[in-house]
Structure 1
Amino acid sequence: MSNAEENVENDASRPGGIQVIARASAVMRALGSNPKGLTLTAIAQHVGLARSTVQRIIAALEAEQLVEPVLTGNGFRLGPALAQLIHQTHTDIISIARKSLESLSEHLGESVTLSCLSGKQNIIIDRVVAERELRVVVPMGQSMPMHATSDGKALLSTIPEEQVREWLGTSLEKLTDTTLDMEGLLAQLNEIRRTGFASSCEEHLVGVSACSILVPTFMGPHAVTVVAPTSRFNMHFESFKVALQECKSDIALFAGGR
């Protein structure tokens, strides 16, 4: 039984209002674990509720923009209102980091992001999209596969190995031919803990690569990431690392991290 199912069962005897909140939370956690979206039937299976009940919950959440339909018309995913709430929670860090992110993006000519841990997921809380014809646009506020993204791996490196296994489970989704398995991921996390740098070469999407650096702040560890088409990434990887180190120093100076 999943954690979401257990939570729903544990809340079954609570007063109606609290039970509705518990069920809505379970639905949102299920969607958070599946950023590509889930159908109503799949959500119902994840949370252990009737499809009709899930449909009513989704309708209420959609009205508040906490969930939204997947563009293909096949299911739902977390919505823009959640990204806005996360953004407001991290406003201080975002305001501190924004100028550095803009400078980094302008200097490299690539898109950059700022990420943090939220629950058991990594969330992009700010981004600067490169002003060029061929660029990568990363979605705001949505959880990305931690085992296959450079910022996800950077943030995973801040927790113990046992916790990594607990969060991700024993079988990691194979998204591309270069996606790491658990043992490969754990070995890479040890190197990230040593250097503070993480990279992902087409492990999440073919044609897209990224590198990240951990940034300590008064709100915990964050990751700054440069995302680029793989051809440019391979050509400029070393300069990306140098620029990320400079960006980290700028942000950490004002964000209270050590």
Structure 2
Amino acid sequence: MSREAPETGEESKAGGIQVIARAAAIMRTLSEHPQGLSLAAIAQAVKLPRSTVQRIVCALETEYLVEAMGPSGGFRLGAAVGQLVYQTQTDIISLVRPYLECLSNRLQESVALAKPAGEKIHVIDRIVAERDLRVVFPIGAFAPMHSTSAGKVLLAGLGDDEVRALLPDPLPQMTRHTRDLPALLAELAEIRKTGFTFDHEECSEGISAGSVALDTYLGRYAISVVLPSARAARHVEAIQEALLACKRDIERAIGRTACQR
């Protein structure tokens, strides 16, 4: 009768990593199906044998990370997941600020983090550029969504009917460059393709800004580079490149898809 050789330390470590990866894949799959999934459906989604999935799900259920859905069958994420998320919901400002500082240093321009507040945006953090000619704005400031690049990238996450329901019609003209509703809707369609927009003095004379939307498990935000219009036009491409890179870095770290493979 042959006997299996004992696992070496490296083999044991590799096996443990594989189990964790498989458990993570199962939990990600369940997170995408809050209505729950059967063991067979989970196995098909993660491309593992049903017996392997059942063994891992039972272990997760013991830790309340997965729960059975009762007589109807199937499994969903358990209460412990919500508790872990609640306990780790660090302030978005603390998480994002190092990235904002890097972005500001890279471009030598002021940078803002904003969130939606009804039909306005609310600036919740900012880095002011250290240079002679710069834009300075207060934390806590509000501005209309329709006339700011930050507001427009956030509006682009909505459907046109939702935008119409949210914004007044006609739109208030903040400057002679502010778009009307048809022009705004056309621009939102383009933003949905590129993920970026730039406003030239649409909210305030002499000030321009470029923005991208930021999707995180803490919500949807906008990052903006705000600068004097006098030097804006020749830097749009560099601002777009830097903002999209910053967005990728942040979403890789704390985004909705941070753990996807």
TM-score range, shorter chain: 0.5 to 0.7
- Can you list the C-alpha shifts for 1:14-33, whole angstroms capped at 9, x where unaligned? xxxxxxxxxxxxxxxxxxxx
Shift in Å, 1:220: 2.1
Counterpart residue type for residue 120 of structure 2 = Q
**Percent of aligned pairs with the same amino acid:** 46
- Can you list the C-alpha shifts for 1:106-144, whole angstroms capped at 9, x where unaligned? 111100011112344321111000011111012222220
Q: Could you tell me how far apart the structure 2 residues matched to 1:152 and 1:170 are?
A: 16
- Can you list the C-alpha shifts for 1:44-87, whole angstroms capped at 9, x where unaligned? xxxxxxxxxxxxxxxxxxxxxxxxxxxxxxxxxxxxxxxxxxxx
What TM-score comes out, normalization by structure 2 length?
A: 0.62
SS at match of 2:157: coil
Q: 8 Å contact 2:119–2:145 — kept in the other structure?
A: no
Q: Could you tell me how far apart the structure 1 residues matched to 2:230 and 2:256 are?
A: 34
- Can you list the C-alpha shifts for 1:191-215, whole angstroms capped at 9, x where unaligned? 1111110111111111110000111
Q: Could you tell me how far apart the structure 2 residues matched to 1:152 and 1:173 are?
A: 14
Aligned to 2:106: 107
Q: Does 1:170 align with 2:169?
A: yes
Q: Could you tell me how far apart the structure 2 residues matched to 1:157 and 1:138 are?
A: 24
Q: Could you tell me how far apart the structure 1 residues matched to 2:256 and 2:114 are?
A: 15
Q: 8 Å contact 2:150–2:223 — kept in the other structure?
A: yes
Aligned to 2:183: 184
Give the gaps of 5 or more residues in structure 2. 1-88
Q: How does 1:197-216 map to 2 (within 5 A)?
A: 197-216=196-215
Give the gaps of 5 or more residues in structure 1. 1-89
Q: Could you tell me how far apart the structure 2 residues matched to 1:179 and 1:132 are?
A: 28
Q: 8 Å contact 1:93–1:255 — kept in the other structure?
A: no
Q: Could you tell me how far apart the structure 2 residues matched to 1:203 and 1:117 are?
A: 18
Q: Could you tell me how far apart the structure 1 residues matched to 2:255 and 2:242 are?
A: 20
SS at match of 1:221: strand
Q: Judging changes above 3 Å, is the alpha-carbon distance between structure 1 residues 147 and 120 closer, same or farther for their aligned structure 2 residues? A: closer
Counterpart residue type for residue 174 of structure 2 = L
Aligned to 2:123: 124
Counterpart residue type for residue 134 of structure 1 = L
**Bigger radius of gyration:** 2
- Can you list the C-alpha shifts for 1:156-208, whole angstroms capped at 9, x where unaligned? 11112112111112111111111100000000011111111011111111111
Shift in Å, 1:228: 0.5
Q: Could you tell me how far apart the structure 2 residues matched to 1:242 and 1:130 are?
A: 18
Aligned to 1:234: 233
Shift in Å, 1:95: 1.2
* Structure 1 runs of 4+ with >6 Å offset: none
Q: Could you tell me how far apart the structure 1 residues matched to 2:241 and 2:256 are?
A: 19
Aligned to 1:56: none
Q: How does 1:68-83 map to 2 (within 5 A)?
A: none
SS at match of 1:205: coil
Q: Could you tell me how far apart the structure 2 residues matched to 1:165 and 1:203 are?
A: 19
SS at match of 2:204: coil
SS at match of 2:171: coil
- The alignment's C-alpha RMSD in Å is 1.4
Q: Does 1:147 align with 2:146?
A: yes
Aligned to 2:160: 161
SS at match of 1:138: coil
Q: 8 Å contact 1:215–1:257 — kept in the other structure?
A: no
SS at match of 2:218: coil
Q: How does 1:74-93 map to 2 (within 5 A)?
A: 92-93=91-92
Aligned to 2:244: 245
- Can you list the C-alpha shifts for 1:87-109, whole angstroms capped at 9, x where unaligned? xxx85221111111001101111
Aligned to 1:133: 132
What TM-score comes out, normalization by structure 1 length?
A: 0.63
SS at match of 2:216: coil
Counterpart residue type for residue 214 of structure 2 = V
SS at match of 1:139: coil
Q: 8 Å contact 1:129–1:136 — kept in the other structure?
A: yes
